[in-house]
Amino acid sequence: MNQIKMWKILLILQLIYLNYALSLTTIMVVLGNQMKEIQKDRVLTAIEYSKNLENDHLWYLSGGVKGCVEDEITEASSMRGYINEKTNKIILDNQATNTAENFVNLKKWLSIIYKSNEEYEIVITTSEYHKVRALKIFEGIFKNQNSVWNLSKESCMFCWSDETTHMKNIGNDIKNALKNE
């Protein structure tokens, strides 16, 4: 094969790859929180991140109502109010009541919408104090799935110490969330 033909083949392969890479959808996952200030900071942090995306993205906002509060707006619906984009590319998970359920519901939704994880990338926005636990739960639910972590700064007086307590329940949280899958 002469060099011109080889060069053309390489160029075509590169264009195919670039077209694929640019068509990749970014799933902007924002984990809810009961505390409105933390919730808002997570969404604003995700919005800021999304401004630098070159490819298409959609929002997956996750968080229901914790406890037995009637007529309260879900965390996902509340977070929707911060996104000013005129888009129908917002998925609300109004059912999840903890981080494990956030990820189980996300996994179910992804399996319905996408044939393979090569069609999307996941960007998870949560708080710095929550990342270690959220990552362990994510890895327990999504085996061999890559993700990007985008962290907000807002926290509360007890957030970091509460995470220490919650870390002890990771195994049970995953098991219970998967049981309802």
Q: Enumerate the H helices of 51-158 as residue ranges.
A: 75-80, 99-113, 131-141
In 3D space, the residue among 40, 63, 7 whose CA is nearest the CA of residue 154 turns out to be 40
Q: Between 151 and 116, whose confidence is greater?
A: 151
151 backbone dihedrals φ, ψ, rounded to 5°: -110, 135
Q: List, for residues 128-181, the tens digit of each pLDDT value.
A: 999 999 999 999 999 889 999 999 999 999 999 999 999 999 999 999 999 876
pLDDT digits (tens, 9 = 90+) for 43-82: 999 999 999 988 789 999 999 987 655 558 899 999 999 9
CATH superfamily of this structure's domain 26-179 = HUPs (3.40.50.620)
Q: Poorest-confidence range of 1-10, 39-48, 83-92?
A: 1-10
What H or E segment, with its residue span, contains residue 98? Answer: none
Which of 84, 30, 24, 92 is CA-nearest to residue 56?
24
Question: Between residues 15 and 117, which one has the greater pLDDT?
Answer: 117
Q: Which H/E stretch holds residue 161?
A: helix 159-167
pTM: 0.84
What is the C-alpha R_g of the chain? 19
| Domain spans, the chain | 26-179
In the three-class reduction of DSSP (H, G, I as helix; E, B as strand; rest coil), residue 121 is classed as strand
